[in-house]
Amino acid sequence: MESDRNLWELPYYHGLLPREDTVAMLKANGEFLIRKSEENAGDARTFVLSVVYGNVKHYLFREERGRISIDFKSDKGYKSIRDFVDSHMQSRQPVCSASHVIITRPIGRKDWELAHADIVNGAKLGAGAFGIVRRGELKQSGGQTVKVAIKEATLTKCTKEQIKEFMNEARIMRKFKHPNVIQSYGELQD
């Protein structure tokens, strides 16, 4: 299957975006995004199409014979997720044979959804329950850099529940904008 690096070029790819943030971003029928998730705790991470059709639905991409699709009964698969999305947006065909769900409007990343390419890691400052804290620099969209502290979760060692807890904390920190509270610039999603 495709790499995160290739998919990050797609504006509607959100990386390890939690379901709670996904639901908050998708509002109208046909709006969609691609993200990465574990189907069940401990499973390998896979790519997911999240789309609104009445409510938010989540479809897992599968790979067979070097092709990817959500439903190999309705199509022979595609070379890439980009090809899948382009084809379904253009044809307005349902994403799988068991539903009438169509994708019409891709939802781009928010300012707080950062890529590893935006971060320069520095020296380790400390460690905690979920990982380590480092000095670093954040390259902002305007080209300037800001000195930051980077809280780095050891996601490969964390359980799905611990990742969820970590992301809940990040969601809360994004809301705080006060001179006496540490500002959160965002989370790395790729």
Q: Is 186 left (phi over 0), alpha (psi -120 to 50) or beta?
A: left
Query: Which residues partner with 120 through β-bridges?
Result: 137
Strands 187-188 and 113-114: parallel
Please enumerate, by residue number, every residue annotated as part of a binding site: 151
Residue 33 C-alpha from the chain's centroid: 8
Are 101 and 51 in contact, with CB atoms under 8 Å apart?
yes
- The DSSP letter of residue 117 is G
Burial of 158 (0-12, 13-18, 19+ CB in 10 A): middle
What is the C-alpha to C-alpha distance for residues 104 and 85, in angstroms, rounded to an integer? 9
Return d(Cα 45, Cα 149) in angstroms, integer: 27
Instruction: Give the residue ranges of the annotated binding site for ATP.
Output: 151
